[in-house]
Structures are given as C-alpha cells and as structure tokens.
Amino acid sequence: VHADQTLFRGLSWKEEDEAELFSEKMRQAKSKFRFARKQWQTVRKSDEADRKAHGPQTLDEHLKEQYDHIPPEGVEGAAFAQKRPGRITTKKTFDLEENNMSEEGGLLDLSHRGNSTTRKLLVSNSNQITEHCHAAGLWAKGFNGKGIKVALFDTGISLTHPHFKKIKGRTNWTNENTLNDGLGHGSFVAGVIASQSEECKGFADEAEIYTYRVFTNEQVSYTSWFLDAFNYAIVMKPDVLNLSIGGPDYLDFPFVQKVNEVTASGIIMVSAIGNDGPHFGTLNNPADQMDVIGVGGIDYGDRIAGFSSRGMTTHELPYGYGRVKPDIMAYGQQVFGSRNTGGCRALSGTSVASPVVAGAVTLLASTVPANKRKQILNPASMKQALVHGTSPIKQHGMSIMEQGNGKLDLMGAYSILKNYQPHASAIPAAWTLHRECSNNYWWPYCKQKMYADAQPLILNTTIVNGMGVVGWFKGPPEWVPGEHGDYLDVQYRYSERLWPWSGFLGLYLRIKSEASSFNGKVSGYVQFIIVSPPGEGELVNRESLVKVPIEVSVIPTPARERRILFDIYHNIRYPPTYIPRDNIDIKNDMLDWHADHPHTNYHDMFNNILTAGYYMEMLTSPFTCFDAKQYGALVMVDPEEEYHPDEVEKLAHDIKNEGLGLVLFAEWYNIDLMVSLKFFDDNTRSWWTPPVGGANVPGLNDLLRPYGIQLGDEHLMGTAKIGTMANIPFKSGANIANFPKGGTLLQGNFHTGRSSYSNRSPAHTSYPFMGWVQPKDHTGRIAIYGDSNCLDSSHATGSGGCTNLLDGMIKYVNSGVMQPAISGGAVPLVQPYTNGAQPPMRRQDVDMTGVFKTDKNVKPVCGVNDNVGTLNEVPASRGTQGDMVASSFTLADLPVVKEEVLHLDTSVRPSEGVSVEEHEVRQAEEEEEEMSQSEEAPSLTDPHEIAEAARKEHDPRIIGPLTVPNMKDHAPLNNVRASVADAIAHHAVERTHERERERAQVYSHEEAVPSHQEAVPEYAVPSYEQHELPQQIQVPKEDQDIDF
C-alpha cells in the first residue's frame, strides 16, 4: 500500500526541515502495518463472549482477510479505500507542496489560479510575524495579552519550554500517557500566540496558556476526545480557543453542536479553513461554522496561498446557496514559531494562519479594560472587529470566495473594538455586485448579469449579533427600493433564532417580468431589526437596525437557446452519505465532497461556458418546478439522487412537447467496485460502503428509459477520441448499454476495472461512451457523455477541451446539428443498439433509508422556502455518518422533539381570538387525549420502528438508521484540573456514555445495513446492558407568568 493512499488527513502543517528518518519504502511498510494493526486491535476489542464465539484470530489472519485483494507493490493504484485511524480530517501541512524554498533560499510564491501554478521569488525583510502584523503598535500602548486565557487544542506542550512565561494548565485527552508535544505542532501554535523569544516572538507573551492534547504523536484524534476536552474547556472558561484542525464532515453533529455550545459560553473560537486549495468548495469544519472565525492563508506578498481552501460553504447545497468564507486571511506561509525543544523554525499552512489570528485576538482582547470585557468581548463582537476592520488583498482577481472579507488588519480591528457598542451586522456588509465586478471580487455573483423570469439569485448573508448569544428578527426584512429598485422582487428566509451569536438571512432576488427589456443598474437596500434580551443591568430588550445595500446589473432576457438550466438539486456529496470519488485514480481524496456545483469544483466550466455566450441558472428544486419553455437545455453532471415518478413524467413531457434539450455527463456505477471501496471507520466503529457509485446510474436509467437509453456498469478508463477534437481523458466513466434507432453513437477503446485496479483489463476493448438522438415524435433532443471528470476543476483532467464538448452538445440539442469536430467517426444507428447485458441494479445489500431526499411516495414540493437553509435545517431525509448520534438527547426524546435544533421558542401560544383560559382548557384536553393514545399504542421495541416513528415526528436530528461511535475508551482526567471541574467533567462524560449505552441497546443489532456503512461483524458489536424503553413522557405544564 503506497503512502499516498493514506487518504484522511490530520493536522494542517508542514515542517520544512523535517529529518528523513526512514526510506520511503520503510515509511510505506510502517504505515501499512500501523493501519492494519490499529484496525485489528479495534475490531478485537469485543467482549469475551463474542471472542470465544468466533474463535481466535491472529493478526496475520486478519491482514490476509482484509488485504488479499490489494495489488502488489508496483501495480498502479487500488480501488480499496484506506482510512487512517481517528476522526476524518483533510490535508495536513505535511502534505503541502515540497520544495517551498528556492535554491537561493528565498521564499517561493505558490499562488494558484485555476489549473495553473506560478512560482515567483518573494522578498521578505523579516520572518517575524508580529512585525508584519504591526503588533508593536499595541505593545507600545502597554497591551501584551495580560489577563487573557488561551486554550490550544493540539498536540500538547512541554511545561519547561523556554519560550513561555505562563503555561497555566495542561491536559491530555488521548490514549497516550503524556502531556508533552512529541510532534512539534502544539509548541509552534503556542509560540505564534505567546512566545517571548526574540527570534520568533508571539503576539501576547503575557497571555495564560492552557493546552488540551487531543492529537497523538501519530496525528490521530477522535470525536469523543474532542467532546471531553470541549466539556472541560466550557468549565475552565478560556477567553480564546485555537483549533488548527479541520475536516469535511460538517454533519458530525456531536462535534458541531459541541462547538456551538463552546462559543455560546462566550469562548472566541478561531480555526483553520483547510489546506485543500486551490480547489473551491473545500472549506473545513469547524471553520465553516457561523459562530467560528475561519482563517485562510496568504504569503508575505499578500497573495493567497495555493494551499488555502476556498469557499463557498456547502452546508446549504443543493437547496440554495452557500455562505461567504473564509472570514479573514492571515499570513500562513513561512511563518516563524517555536520548536518543541526550543529554538525557532518556519512552517506553512492555514493552521499556521489560524494561531496568527488567535494571537491577534488575544492581544486585542487585552486592550479591553478588565471591568468591561464581560460586557463587550464575545465571539460576535470580535468577529465584527476583525471582519469589518480588514484591508483588501493586493492580489488582483481574487474573488470573495477565495479571500473572504480580506486580510487581517490588527490596528483596524483595534480601532473598531476601542469604540465598540453592542450591535448586529451583516457579512458581507453590502452586495454591491454592479459596482465591483471589474476586479473579479464579486465572482461568481457578478459573472452573469440578472434578467427577468430567471431562477432566483440567492445571496446567503450571515448575521452576526454582538448584543447577545441569542437574538431574533423583530419582523420580516423590508426591501427599500433605490434606483429602478421596483424592478427587483426580493424574497426572504431567515433564522427564527440567532444562536449562538449568529444566524442567516437568505435573499432571493428576481427581476420582474415587466423589466424583460431593461438594461441598467437596480439598487436599494434590505433593512431589518435584530432583538436580543437585555444586558446586565438593563431592563429592556436590545435592538439593532441593520441595512444591507444591494446593487445588481440587469440586461434584457436572453433568447431561449442561450439559457441553460444546471441541475444541482440531484447532486449529492459527502458527508450526508458516503459518496465515493468520481475518478478512482485520485488516490489522495477518496470522497466526493466538493459539492459538484458550477461555483465550486465546476467553476472553470462555468466561466468557460459563460464566455461562450451562454447564461447558466441553477435548479435547486425538482424537475416539476421549472418552466421548460424558458430554456434550451437542461444540463446534468454527475447526479447521485433518485427521481420521483412525477419528475420522470414531467421531463418526458418537456422533451417531447416543449422542445427542451437534455445534456448529461454521467459517471461510473459498478457494485463490485463499490463493495471494494468499503472501509472500517474506528471513529464511528462501523464499516462504510457507498450506496451509489460516481453517479446513480439505476436512477438515471429510470429517467432515460422512455427514450430507449440505458447506461451500463462497465468502469471505463482511458482516453476519449472525439472527432477532430483534442483527446479527452476518460476517468472512471460509464458505458452506454442501450441506445435507440435513429441515434448516433461514438465508440472508443478503454480498459476496465470491475472490482479494483488489480483486476483492470490489460487489453483495450471497444465501448460506446457518447451518443445523441432526437427521439421519434419528440421536439427535444438528448446528448449523453459517459464521464464528468473532464469538467471537474478539482481533478484537472482537461476541462478546456471538455467545455468545447459541452458547447457542442448544447448546440446539438438546440439546433439538431452536431458539429463535425465531434461527429467524425460516429456511427448512425439503423437498428437499436444493445450490449445484451442486464442494466445495473440498485444495491440490495444496503439500507437506502435516509440516503436520498426524494421520497417516491410524497409529491415533490416547489417554492422559495425550500431553497436556502443552514446546517441545522438539513432536511430530515438526509443520511449521515454513524457518529452524529452521540448528541445530547435520550431515547425518550426521539418521538416527540419537533423543533429545529437551534430554535429556542418551544412554547405554545393561544390562537387569534382565543383567551388564555380557553387556550389552557384546550391544551389540557389535547394533552389528555395524547396520553390516552400513548397508553393504547403498542410499545415500540424494533429499532427500525423507533427510527421511523422519529422521522414521522420530523425530528431534524434523526436522519437515518443509527449506530454508536466507539466512545468507551477515554483518557483519564489529569491531576492538574481543579476538583470541582473534575467532578463536573466526569459527570458530563458519564452521562454521555450512559445515553450512548441506551442508544446502543436499541441500534447496535439492526438487521438492515445503513447505506453509509455495512454491519459491523458480530465480534465487533459492543455488548451493553439492556434498558427498557419509556412507555410515556410526562410533559410539564407551561409557565403562564412568563412572556414567551
């Protein structure tokens, strides 16, 4: 197994002068053995009864059982999915580009644009990060971090490290028996924040340092370790918390909700945005959360680092649109900090940029007088000071999705914080899309001008509330028209409660039909009032008026054949379920998690297709929700979702009667290959296996069946030779199995790998991979290509040539004429084509419950309110990973909780015209009726019945069949903790374990296998005591003396 097959990343940093201790082959061997040994040890930690029942199994037998199908050394690639132990994280700085230094020793620019890389020698007069950030201006005023407590969730630190004055507390939450930093990451992060060394001076050397060791020396961590450490941090109440870690799983609910709880307690959390740049849609969690300050990286030339992850957030897709992130950029390349043994060194990565901001935050916090900190300092006020005090990035052409709100300006933030009064504000503060498009800052919003009768332009605005941890909109937002503002129709969706410290405001902008010939600027602003409870010593609610200016450019509505509708509604990506990568050759990223959106990993395609003269709109709802007469083509790329029968019928009608064209870029689907992609995740203690391949071919075949078209299950690799066009890499694509008479097919020679690359066919075989047809008696046309990777900027396999292919396919469905550059060598069909094989079937060995949002028994729903949401509003039909169930609710809660997780208002109000007394009588009668029904209802003991009952009650936290993460092994509490905190933390941990044991009793013995994981072998299922389910729930009566 090659080292680059370790696909899940840990910490985000790189040591430039790391000594080479072993040869590459020795590294590979050690990596393979450690991974195998860890898996074996995890699986063998079953109870003694299971062990006896299944008999002894040696490590050699386990290795043979698990790794027999891995190709030998020298064979390129492997379909087998390997995951390093611990919580899923992404690229660490160890994995950043090698050779970051020039031969002359100077710093190199690694800025990336699209698929190109440029390298320039940068000039830097100093490696002192504090000089670049002008920290001396605040030091001169007497501020140095004194009185501020900083928590570092990292790899620990040595108590005797010479660079630090005030190491006040160290705790260890791992399974290693040490508090020290054996890796060097934690020491470096601490040094950037608080080092007193003149060689690598930190921002705030008088700050108090508290280290929480949550990563081992092998860079492994678990969700359960973080939960314990977070609980302890809440008790200890640090002012600032730095997390130089990240991962793609924003649906790791226990982790995400605990982060919310940490910030709700007033702790300012700073986190690295990730090292998965220059690709878009690669923001890491928790930095992508609204209540966390997410930090990207730049170099000393004010250029965005090539490794820095790009926006937008993908929580909200495919229902609407993501938010702007990162929040702020800071120096993250060749930054000097402390070694774990003393001395200094230079490192790069966004987890270097994160402590730069955390150090600045610590220094800024110390500028607030101690007697006012409680009233002024909180996660929202600090984010407002940082974001609204930024300075622009000097690098031309960098969009808001790349640079966020700009570069850290320490003195600018200080000037805001010095005169700060609690208020609410918006991020971005204004959407001036008309004014600032020349420098590409507002890409992708201003890349395409607005016009009448289009899909809505969605602006997902973050509301930051410095007045309190909880707030709400006093009333609906109001559109105040400016210049030609009456042409703009503005709809809203917003958080019912802003918690913690923040919420969202979704703005849906449409140009009215009466402006179909208008050409010019439309402007105005949206205004609203945010309300929070009174502050300390106050008697009335706090209120803040917020105005968000909007400017857009409008053009006359384009002709139908120039308008393209891009389907994002039917795209699924990790983490709602385990969706494998589209290109199996990409061994360093096994998950499809970049959102498959024209503004993320398809951004080059988006730019190129607009340059070709088209207009692309996003479909965020089912096929039943758009008017086909408005569009020349519906474009589908790599769809994984299912299709409602009404959608199949509607699309058939549109193609037959309305002249709609369908352009499809498909992907591979092969059950043998999917089975080989399973892996054991020791964080959730379960096997994960994908429910679909690169695309949902069985679902697509349902959609294509009315036209006599079917895709096959061959997994094709090679090069597509299309007419006179340049050859296009064909990576993990699908073959065409059936095609109707009158159509045209292109065939090519490919090799196949039906289960893994060790079984890849050595010889090339001819397969149809592209076809186009106008079905008989239809006014519309269809064009299909078997692979989507050439459109994917993340894989960089030649999107330019593939954009020309897409252009040609769109022109065909509009005109009926395929360009000669494409049609050369194609074969017209005088008889229907079939390869005689059975069409691929859906997986029968996994439970698909919760994988797809499409419920074929429920009519599709349209409407603006279905489009935009936040993390806590992901529809209850979506699947998730096993560890999401370790949240703080019990089995008794499952069937009855209906409110969204963040909604605080659970009261029941009297209806209009009903007195309080009448309301109480009705409520009592309803409660009595519910109690009688619960007594008559049969007791639910089957786990599927319980989960189904919970779903029927629309509990947003119950997404699918649940499993229990392995949280039995926790590091002992350290003796440096206070006795009271020790007792509280123990109680919290034990209560968490108790709840998990209750859930484990119900959910650990499911007969069906969840879609994102296979059943754990019996010997790996934990054994817990049996607990009876509660038969009824006593509901306390509502207080009537409180204004709810």
Is there a contact between 919 and 835 (Cβ–Cβ < 8 Å)? no
Q: What is the C-alpha separation between 814 and 808, in angstroms, rounded?
A: 10
Residue 490: pLDDT band (50, 70, 90) is very high
The per-residue pLDDT for range 783-823, each reduced to its tens digit, is 999 999 999 988 765 445 688 999 999 999 999 999 999 99
Residue 849: pLDDT band (50, 70, 90) is confident
- Residue 1018, pLDDT > 80, answer no
Active site residues: 154, 185, 351
- Name the nearest CA neighbour of 456 among 426, 492, 483: 492
C-alpha of 110 from chain center = 25
- Name the nearest CA neighbour of 673 among 700, 705, 695: 695
Query: What is the side-by-side order of every strand in the sheet holding 335-338?
Result: 14-15, 344-348, 335-338
For 840, the token pair is 């691929």
- Residue 119, pLDDT > 50, answer no
Residue 433: pLDDT band (50, 70, 90) is very high
Those residues with Cβ within 8 angstroms of residue 983's Cβ, 6 or more apart along the chain or in another chain: none
pLDDT for the residue numbered 110 = 31
Rg (C-alpha) for the chain, rounded Å, is: 29
Question: If you average pLDDT over residues 646-664, what whole number do you get?
Answer: 97
In single-letter form, the type of residue at position 198 comes to E
Of 284-298, 346-360, 554-568, 857-871, give the lowest mean pLDDT range.
857-871
How far is the CA of 773 from the CAs of 708, 815, 820, in angstroms?
10, 12, 16
pLDDT top residue among 396 and 477: 477
Looking at the chain, the whole-number percentage of residues with pLDDT higher than 90 is 58
pLDDT for the residue numbered 802 = 85
Residue 1039: pLDDT band (50, 70, 90) is low
pLDDT for the residue numbered 188 = 96
The per-residue pLDDT for range 256-276, each reduced to its tens digit, is 999 999 999 999 999 999 999
Residue 100: pLDDT band (50, 70, 90) is very low
pLDDT top residue among 143 and 1043: 143
- Residue 146, pLDDT > 90, answer yes
Question: If you average pLDDT over residues 321-335, what whole number do you get?
Answer: 95
Of 51-55, 790-794, 1009-1013, give the lowest mean pLDDT range.
1009-1013
> Strand 240-243 vs strand 149-154: parallel, antiparallel, or unpaired?
parallel
pLDDT for the residue numbered 917 = 55
Residue 347: exposure state from Cβ atoms within 10 A (0-12, 13-18, ≥19)? buried
Q: What is the C-alpha separation between 608 and 114, in angstroms, rounded?
A: 12
Q: What is the C-alpha separation between 707 and 776, in angstroms, rounded?
A: 9
- Residue 900, pLDDT > 50, answer no
- Residue 3, pLDDT > 50, answer no
- Residue 99, pLDDT > 50, answer no
pLDDT for the residue numbered 422 = 97
The per-residue pLDDT for range 495-524, each reduced to its tens digit, is 999 999 999 999 999 999 999 999 999 999
- Name the nearest CA neighbour of 590 among 694, 660, 512: 694
pLDDT for the residue numbered 454 = 97
State whether residue 461 is helix, strand or coil: strand
DSSP string, 669-693: --HHHHHHT-EEETTTTEEE--SS-
Q: What is the C-alpha separation between 783 and 812, in angstroms, rounded?
A: 8
Question: If you average pLDDT over residues 588-617, what whole number do you get?
Answer: 92
Question: For the packed helices 223-236 and 253-264, what is the interaxial angle rounded to 10 degrees?
Answer: 10
Distance, first Cα to last Cα, the chain: 60
Residue 70: pLDDT band (50, 70, 90) is very low
- Residue 126, pLDDT > 80, answer no
The per-residue pLDDT for range 760-780, each reduced to its tens digit, is 555 678 999 999 999 999 999
Q: Where are the alpha helices (DSSP H) in 195-278?
A: 223-236, 253-264
- Residue 97, pLDDT > 90, answer no
- Residue 471, pLDDT > 90, answer yes
Question: If you average pLDDT over residues 299-326, what whole number do you get?
Answer: 92
Is there a contact between 715 and 754 (Cβ–Cβ < 8 Å)? yes
- Name the nearest CA neighbour of 837 among 718, 732, 643, 697: 697
Q: What does pLDDT average to over the chain?
A: 77
Those residues with Cβ within 8 angstroms of residue 996's Cβ, 6 or more apart along the chain or in another chain: 886, 964, 965, 967
Where are the strands (E) in 774-913, listed by range? Answer: 782-785, 827-828, 833-834
Q: What is the C-alpha separation between 995 and 335, in angstroms, rounded?
A: 44
For 811, the token pair is 């022109």
Residue 684: pLDDT band (50, 70, 90) is confident
How far is the CA of 665 from the CAs of 634, 736, 788, 803, 853, in angstroms?
11, 12, 5, 12, 21
Of 742-751, 760-769, 823-832, 964-973, give the lowest mean pLDDT range.
964-973
Residue 994: pLDDT band (50, 70, 90) is low
Residue 827: strand pairing partners: 745
For 350, the token pair is 């966004």
Sign of the Cα pseudo-torsion (207, 211, 215, 219, in order)? positive
Q: What is the C-alpha separation between 963 and 659, in angstroms, rounded?
A: 48
pLDDT for the residue numbered 130 = 96
Sign of the Cα pseudo-torsion (159, 162, 167, 172, in order)? negative
- Residue 38, pLDDT > 70, answer no
Half-sphere exposure of 934 (CA within 13 A, CB side): 16
pLDDT for the residue numbered 926 = 63
Sign of the Cα pseudo-torsion (3, 7, 8, 14, in order)? positive
- Name the nearest CA neighbour of 448 among 288, 218, 282, 607: 607
pLDDT top residue among 982 and 298: 298
DSSP string, 705-749: GGGT-EE----EEEEE--TTSPPEEEEEE--EEEE-TT-EEEEEE
Q: What is the C-alpha separation between 955 and 476, in angstroms, rounded?
A: 26
pLDDT for the residue numbered 247 = 85
pLDDT for the residue numbered 930 = 54
Question: If you average pLDDT over residues 1021-1033, what whole number do you get?
Answer: 34
Q: What is the C-alpha separation between 513 and 621, in angstroms, rounded?
A: 21
- Residue 316, pLDDT > 80, answer yes
Q: Where are the alpha helices (DSSP H) in 315-457?
A: 350-365, 373-376, 379-388, 400-403, 410-418
Question: If you average pLDDT over residues 716-728, what whole number do you get?
Answer: 90
